[in-house]
Every structure is written in C-alpha cells, then in structure tokens.
Structure 1
Amino acid sequence: MSQPAVDMQNLVKTFGGGRNLFGRAASEVHAVRGISLTLERGETLGIVGESGSGKSTLARMLVGLEHPTAGSMAIEGKPWSELAASGTRAFGRAIQYVFQDPVASLNPRKTIGDILDVPLRLLCGYDRDHRARRKQELVDAVQMPLDTLERYPHEFSGGQAQRIAIARALAAEARILVLDEPVSALDVSVQAQVLLLLQQLRDELGLSYLFISHDLAVVESISDRVAVMYLGEVVETGPAAQLFAAPQHDYTRALIASAPRLTVSDSPL
C-alpha cells in the first residue's frame, strides 16, 4: 500500500513566549494545536477556516517557511527533515507552494521565460534546449500564449499571473502543490477558470493538492475531502459532499450558513 502524499502528526506551532526586553514573560500564541492530517496521492484536501485559524501557518510549515514547534511531517513516506536535508533539488521536486498574490510572487525584473527557467535549470538540471521545449509545454499546459515567455509579470491580469505561478510550480515537476488562497484575489468568473485548470492538471499529471481557503464555496467546488480549522485545531474532517450535506460541528454549520454556495459545474464558463 502506497504512502500518503503528506502525513502530518500532532503538529504544533507557537509564536512568542520566552522573555521580553524587560525580563517579563512574553505571551505565547498557539497558531496550530496538535493537528494530524493526511493528504492521499492524487487527492485534493481542502483546508478551510476564517482568518487566523492557522491554515496558512500549516501550509508554510509544509514548505519550510515555518518550522513546527512539535510534531512530525512526512512527504511520500519520507520524514520531512530527511527530505529537506537531502537538498533543495529533492525537496523542490517533491512539493511546491503557490502563493495567494501571484503578481507579488513573480520577480518583476524577469521575463516569464526567465522565471520558468530557474526551476528547470536548478531543480531539474535540464540543458538549454530541453528547457526551451519545456517552457513552451508549461505555458501551453496553463492555457497561455507562447509570447507569454517574452513578457513581464506586470503585463498580466491577476488570473493570468496565477496561471503563470502555477506553471512555475509545475516547472519543478513537483508531485504535491500547496495552494494558499490561490483564487481569493480574483473575480468570481476568473476563479472558476483557474479552478477548472487546477482540476484538469491534477487529473492529467496525477498531482496532489493541499488547497487552503477561507471560502467554503471554492473549497467545496474542488476538494475531495475537507478539513475545517478553528483556532488552530481541526474541528471536523470528511468527504466534501458529506461534510457540506451534513456538517457535524457547530462551527462548520455556522460557516456553511454564512457562505454563498458555488460549484465549478454551476459556472457559465
């Protein structure tokens, strides 16, 4: 039986604590409180909760932007610390992060071709000809024109920039994508286009997604399973259809009651 794409056990992340400049005890903030979750291969696991629930902290720990205070993580059966110690290339080809603000995450002084060239060269080790062919394949995969490669990030809309950010993650040939609020800054019609693209890429390439959002409608439209976070804890998990049809936790019921319902199939696009 294959190992899950991601396995998180009893993860804890606290900020603060210790002593301040005056020698007094500083307050400690518990961002993540003992979370245990798995992401199966080929699955989209939606993580939902209001701002401050700890979902982005969880995502940042997975990609090494934050380090857990306690607990363990494994990527495809390999301990996270072991994978990270094996070098940037191995880690980057296993898991990639897609940021909420696509334009801010792209170097404004580099063309898109140069931006895509970096993971192809440093993580995949491809020669120039192979990189050139792969860049054309990547912009085609995210349904962007070939002249995209000669242009700069500021020349694109938010939705186009997010497609480019997804292409950059795919350039590393990572099998796991952590998507942190990837459509929250986009108009609803553009959200639907990006969500459909993500579903197509997952099915075609066999990817696994950890999809972070505060928007239940978006999470419902793309997720196989959903985990609901509240104050750093997972209060409910389950298959997406089951969780939305019959939520068990009061907090989940309150979130569903307050959110408009939207699915990709309802989109006119």
Structure 2
Amino acid sequence: MSDVAVEIRDLVKTFGGGRTLFGRAASTVQAVKGVSLELNRGETLGIVGESGSGKSTLARMLVGLEQPTSGTMVIDGKPWAELAATGSRAFGRNIQYVFQDPVASLNPRKTIGDILDVPLRLLCGYDSAKREARKRELVAAVHMPTNTLERYPHEFSGGQAQRIAIARALAAEARILVLDEPVSALDVSVQAQVLLLLQQLRDDLGLSYLFISHDLAVVESISDRVAVMYLGDVVESGPAAQLFASPQHEYTRALIASAPRLTASESAT
C-alpha cells in the first residue's frame, strides 16, 4: 500500500461560462487553478487561506460534491473518476467530510442513533445487532455517553454536536477525513477539546486529515504540514513548524503578520 492517502495533480475548477439568456458569453471564475498536493497516511495536512482562496472548493471536489474541470485525484489508491463512476457510496467508504456547522449537518428529525445507523447500514452493510454495538462504540470514541443515541441534534451544544458529526464520519470506516473549518463555530476552550479529540482519533485509528481553516493558530497546533492557498492556487507548502517560523511567500508572511497574537500584558491577566 502506498504511503500517500490522497494525491492531487493539476486540479482545476472553473465556475460559469457558456451563454446567458440573451446569448452573451457568461463570465467564468477559476476557483482552483492547477493545484497539486499530497496527503500522506497518518498525517494532518492543513490548508489555510482567506475566504475565496479556493480551499473549500478543493475539499468539495475531493469528497465528490463538486466535479473538477480538469486534473486528477487519487483517493486511498483509487482514481477519483473511478469513484465518481461508481457513485456517492464509493466516496463514503474512502473519504468523509466533517462540516463547519455541526448542528446544521445533522438531520433534526432523527435521533443520533438513527443518524449513525445510516452509514453503518448503507456503507458497511452491518446487520442490526452489529450496528447497535458499533453505535455504542462510536459515541464512546468521541467521549459522549451512551444515552446520546436516544437524543436529537438540537439537544446538544455546538461542541457536542461536532463530536457526533465526527462519530458519523468514523461510522463509514473511511480512513481519510476532510475537516472544513471544524472548530471555527466553537468557543476557544471547546475548540481545544475537539482538536485534542481529533489528534487522539488520528493516532489511535491511523486516520489522515485534510484540515481546512482560516485560523492560523488552530492550523499550526494540529498540522504536520501546511499548504497556503491564494486566489485558487497553492503559493507555499511545507512542514508546519518551518512554514510558520520562516514563511517564504509574501502572502504567507502577510497572513502570519495579520493573525492575532497574545501580548505579554494579555498573557499576564
């Protein structure tokens, strides 16, 4: 098995084009411009950049929510085109998406047990007894009590709901997770708890993460390597410690310079 979990080569995504209702040429926007990246097994690759940099479009293409205009992707040894031809379930068994808003991503009309039941039944093919046992294992893995399974999404805080969303991603038994701003909607103390959980799960289960965020401090704390996106392109990438200590591209330097930092007076209070 290759050490590379995800390989992206010359990936392009263009929106628009064609003709308007009046026959005029419609304008186009190139959201992703020839991006090439690799995510190694057991690694967290952080993707940073301002809004509009193309990082979420990249994530949506990886999990099959957007069709690339050109370029290639290989996910867990399988060509993206092959997964797309097979259908959405093929993506679900290989790569999972954890959304920014955990509560909105969970069906409000279903209990957590019912929500977790779907991937276990449709993607893993488990029988009823095995699904029930696996659901208990999943909520325990994200440090939630067993009675979580009987409750509804609106009964949980944002941090708890994100733990449940992570459990749902784990239910499919995919080994690659795309985490799109997974802690940006949470309080700082809750962010730290969720980040620690993600690190524990990665180490215990051998997961690989593509971690997308505009928060440089969060990315620095969790990532092994970081890629910086600007206007649809990767302008710099490298080991996290090296990139933050000695950024080479002017855009990376500007991002780091503009990030909030704790001053000496603030740390003393």
Normalising by structure 2, report the TM-score: 0.95
Cα deviation for residue 90 of structure 1 reads 3.4
Residue aligning to 2:267: none
User: 1:224-263 maps to which residues of 2 (within 5 A)?
Assistant: 224-261=224-261
**Is the CA contact 1:3–1:76 (under 8 Å) kept in the aligned structure 2?**
no
Cα deviation for residue 260 of structure 1 reads 2.8
Residue aligning to 1:196: 196
Q: 1:60-99: CA deviations, max 9, x gaps?
A: 0001110111101111222111123334443211100000
Across the aligned residues of Structure 1 and Structure 2, the Cα RMSD in angstroms comes to 1.1
**Is the CA contact 2:142–2:197 (under 8 Å) kept in the aligned structure 1?**
yes
**Is the CA contact 2:59–2:180 (under 8 Å) kept in the aligned structure 1?**
yes
Query: Does the residue aligned with 2:71 lie in a helix, a strand or coil?
Result: strand
Residue aligning to 1:112: 112
Residue aligning to 1:209: 209
Cα deviation for residue 258 of structure 1 reads 1.1
- Are 1:156 and 2:156 matched, yes or no? yes
**Is the CA contact 1:3–1:77 (under 8 Å) kept in the aligned structure 2?**
no
Cα deviation for residue 26 of structure 1 reads 1.1
Rate the CA distance shift 1:239–1:261 in 2: closer, same or farther, 3 A: farther
- Are 1:172 and 2:204 matched, yes or no? no
Residue aligning to 2:62: 62
The whole-number CA distance in structure 2 between the counterparts of 1:120 and 1:196 is 25
Residue aligning to 2:32: 32
What are the ranges of 5 or more consecutive residues in structure 2 without an aligned counterpart? 263-269
Query: Does the residue aligned with 1:9 lie in a helix, a strand or coil?
Result: strand
Residue aligning to 1:47: 47
The whole-number CA distance in structure 2 between the counterparts of 1:182 and 1:160 is 12
The whole-number CA distance in structure 1 between the counterparts of 2:261 and 2:10 is 32
Q: Give the count of matched residue pairs.
A: 262
**Is the CA contact 2:64–2:91 (under 8 Å) kept in the aligned structure 1?**
no
Q: 1:160-207: CA deviations, max 9, x gaps?
A: 000000000000001000000000111111100000000000000000
Residue aligning to 1:267: none
The whole-number CA distance in structure 2 between the counterparts of 1:254 and 1:225 is 19
Residue aligning to 2:182: 182
Normalising by structure 1, report the TM-score: 0.95
The whole-number CA distance in structure 1 between the counterparts of 2:76 and 2:138 is 24
Aligned-partner residue type, residue 75 of structure 1: I
**Is the CA contact 1:89–1:124 (under 8 Å) kept in the aligned structure 2?**
no
The whole-number CA distance in structure 2 between the counterparts of 1:257 and 1:223 is 19
The whole-number CA distance in structure 2 between the counterparts of 1:91 and 1:225 is 24
Aligned-partner residue type, residue 7 of structure 1: E
Residue aligning to 2:144: 144
